[in-house]
Structure 1
Amino acid sequence: MPGATIRTLTTAGELAESDAVFHAAMVGLPAPAADEDVAAVREPGRTFGAYVGDGILVGATDSTSGAMTVPGGARVAHAAVTHVGVLPTHTRRGVLTALMRHQLKDCRGRGETVASLRASEAVIYGRYGYGIASVTHAVSLDLRDAELRATAGSGAPPVRLADPEGSWDLLQRIVDRHQSGRAGTISRGALWWRGLRARTRPAPHYVAVCGEDGFVCYRPLDTAAWFTSRDRTVVVTDLHAGTPDAYRALIAFLLRLDLVHTVRFPWLPADDPLPWMLTDHRAARVTGVGDETWLRLVDVPGALGARTYNQGAAVTVRVDDVLLPENSGNYRIGPDGADRTGGAPDVQVDVADLGAAYLGGARWHQLRDAGRLQELSEGAVDRLDALFSTPRAPFAGVMF
């Protein structure tokens, strides 16, 4: 098949067609609302379509600009990549590769340092330089066994219910006021909030807020059998706490919900304090561990220079980047930062695996022991582990 032609999609009709392609590719997603305005939640100039034959759209992708927090607290320019899909009639013909190449070059041309996505399949995006940079824990909290330790529940500030449809500005204000310093956090811009609002159906959902320091959004499952069920379950769809006090207050609120047996958290950071707040640690049961942030370093020298490093001996790392060869080269990384160097490398790594280690999620020794990098100087990987380690597990906590 001749190569696909990549075009920027601009009209409302083109954007709606790209959304239809995405849903057809994903198979199992809920159908969009009939009156959904796709153009209203797409950033102009960032949706790309792949065309074959006589102008047939067979694949698409888009992204939204924003910022990501990196170790040390700096925020770098970030592209949130989403709506990636190729029609099942045109997979494995180079369409996705053409789209990904075009998008990465566009991100670099815009001066963006990193890109990230949430992967529908784990075998696709490594070939385009994305690495798994953070993981999440799915946690099921059994309220029949869950009791707060006295120290966790004492002095918690009050929590109140808010009108779900009238609280959007408040939620955005809370997030903007309390921006997390955790590596991997991404900004929630106006388009993100607009998209979330469009996706939130009028089914039962609730919002509880702790002053202007935090909030939790939750919804019940299986409402048809709610009053006869012996395992009434609510799912937390969003939880943002700007202070430890607010976090403890919101968890205490969830534990007090009547008519509820189980609270599910689809994603929490690997080092979340929830189990340590309970008298019975096992009441918070990890039901799954999944990949969250797939990170792509678009500008390797910019990314390496933006984060901070711990004390320790410097290491020279050879980075290989096939899709963006201007990133390839040797980088000396030490407590004082990172710079290109002509010196011989101590370690050689692909850009995808550098992305996995960049936020402190994947450890360098894990990559070495898995055969994903070459250690050319003895002890270099241990020195990299010391330089790159972070006090908290990386986590975004936001879907897009």
Structure 2
Amino acid sequence: MEHEIRVLSDAQEVGRSLEVFLNAMVGMRWPDPEAVPGLMEPGRTVAAYVPTANPSADVPAGNTSHPERLVGTASSFTSWMIVPGGKKVPQAAVTDVGVLPTHTRRGLAGALMRHQLEQCLARNEIVASLRASEATIYERWGFGIASNVATVEISVDRADFRPGVPKGGDVRLVDLRERADQDLLARIYTGANWVGAIDRPSYWWRARAHVRQLGQDHHYAVVHGIPGHEDGFAIYTPQDSSTWFRSKDRCIVVGDFVANTSRAHFGLLRYLLSLDLVQRVVLDTMPVDHSIEKLFTDERSVSTHGRRDETWLRLVDVQAALAARTYRAPGQVIIEVRDDLLRDNNGRYLISASGVARTEQPPDLTMDVAQLACVYLGGTPFWQLAQAGRIAVHRDAGLTVADHLFALRRAPFGGTMF
């Protein structure tokens, strides 16, 4: 289909691009148009335009001879991601990808994604990640599921902490309507130190504040730690405030739980389970290996469900990304990577605890770049992909070594929706 991909700079065009995205998603709340410029990072929104004979269609300023319509969009923000070993690597956090329902299945989404990935290369962003509204479209552009999350539900009346579980530290409520308290949460989050965590720039914080303003329920926030030394926070809301005082099953949903230390983890959990009137605490987005049930004498007081994909990862510069993370010793493996979109990534990589280098030696494993993304953060073992026929194994011992090299003690976890 004839089209043109452009980077948007005009505020009105950026606003129209967000309308396109919302029309594509169908079920999302529309923001205040005046707030949109402050929610999106300048220079990181791209749009697909198609020619139209309809004179009432969108026509960019100064162009009346060739009417055209904005029908697709994709955006991103400058970010980082923590990879195994603790390094923060530059990444593009991809968001707001959508094509109008009248123009789908015409290659526009692919054109937008290719343009974004080329931008990433130009900015030296070695990885890109997103949260997918659909599970079957992003692998074709080299994205793979690198982390998963689960929902944890705790029955308050059954959740008695075992003797010896640490108390945690001081907690206090803050007001999410106050800019100073919003800034405090942002400062706390800069201490995020787990594999898979990503940066939350100012645009993200403003967008979350705006979403809260659009909602009906009040959001509560509590921070852990003495003033000036806070190391965690939790944001929660009642599940159904309209029937709160008549309900026999009052529940709070924790939408954001950030604990940079184990002390903060214990202190925040103890606070949430101490709230009067509450029968259930639901931690909506938690690591799949959280082990919260081990804290209680009755482990059945905790149920884990709703496991779902979280981080869809794309290795934009394969060699730089592989070199940025660490590996367990001993051993080495040669992986052949195929990337139909970013062809400079094609080749064989010798990987060990000593580093990563290109090689011409025969490979132990062959895979496309999307499958490499699945294993990159340590969230998926190689053997599972091999068993599913998603990677080619040329040497069985190489599969064993690869799983050893890439393995982590804890599952990767993002914890940030965008």
1:194 is matched with 206
TM, length-normalised to structure 1: 0.96
Q: 2:400 matched to 1:388?
A: no
Q: How far apart are 1:35 and its partner, in Å? A: 4.6
How far apart are the structure 1 equivalents of 2:201 and 2:411?
Answer: 23
Q: How far apart are 1:36 and its partner, in Å? A: 4.2
> Identity, % of aligned pairs?
46
Q: 2:197 matched to 1:185?
A: yes
2:355 is matched with 337
Q: 2:208 matched to 1:208?
A: no
2:38 is matched with 40
Q: Residues 42-99 of structure 1, C-alpha deviation per residue, up to 9 Å, x if partnerless?
A: 1111100011123111110000011111101111101000000011111111111111
Letter matched to residue 355 of structure 1: A
Counting only pairs closer than 5 Å after superposition, residues 92-171 of structure 1 correspond to structure 2 as 92-152=105-165, 154-166=166-178, 167-171=181-185
1:11 is matched with 10
Letter matched to residue 24 of structure 1: N
Q: How far apart are 1:179 and its partner, in Å? A: 2.6
How far apart are the structure 1 equivalents of 2:396 and 2:290?
Answer: 35
How far apart are the structure 1 equivalents of 2:33 and 2:349?
Answer: 51
TM, length-normalised to structure 2: 0.92
Q: How far apart are 1:220 and its partner, in Å? A: 0.6
Question: Does structure 2 conserve the Cα–Cα contact (< 8 Å) formed by 1:117 and 1:295?
Answer: yes
Out of 83, 86, 89, the residue aligned to residue 99 of structure 2 is 86
Letter matched to residue 8 of structure 1: V
Q: Residues 97-139 of structure 1, C-alpha deviation per residue, up to 9 Å, x if partnerless?
A: 1111111111111110100000001001000000000000111
Q: Residues 275-300 of structure 1, C-alpha deviation per residue, up to 9 Å, x if partnerless?
A: 11111112111121000000000000
Deviates more, 1:291-300 or 1:230-239: 230-239
1:263 is matched with 281
Q: Number of aligned pairs?
A: 395
Question: Does structure 1 conserve the Cα–Cα contact (< 8 Å) formed by 2:162 and 2:295?
Answer: yes
Letter matched to residue 357 of structure 1: V
Partner secondary structure for residue 156 of structure 1: coil
1:53 is matched with 51
How far apart are the structure 2 equivalents of 1:394 and 1:136?
Answer: 9
Deviates more, 1:197-206 or 1:318-327: 197-206
**Segments ≥4 residues shifted beyond 3 Å:** none
Q: How far apart are 1:273 and its partner, in Å? A: 3.3
Deviates more, 1:320-329 or 1:213-222: 213-222
Counting only pairs closer than 5 Å after superposition, residues 16-27 of structure 1 correspond to structure 2 as 16-27=15-26
Q: Residues 209-230 of structure 1, C-alpha deviation per residue, up to 9 Å, x if partnerless?
A: 1121211110012111111111
Q: How far apart are 1:378 and its partner, in Å? A: 2.5
Partner secondary structure for residue 144 of structure 1: helix
How far apart are the structure 1 equivalents of 2:331 and 2:241?
Answer: 58
Letter matched to residue 348 of structure 2: N
How far apart are the structure 1 equivalents of 2:167 and 2:195?
Answer: 29
How far apart are the structure 2 equivalents of 1:298 and 1:260?
Answer: 46
Out of 242, 248, 255, the residue aligned to residue 260 of structure 2 is 242
Q: 2:374 matched to 1:356?
A: yes
Partner secondary structure for residue 412 of structure 2: coil
Q: How far apart are 1:3 and its partner, in Å? A: 2.8
Aligned residues: CA RMSD? 1.2
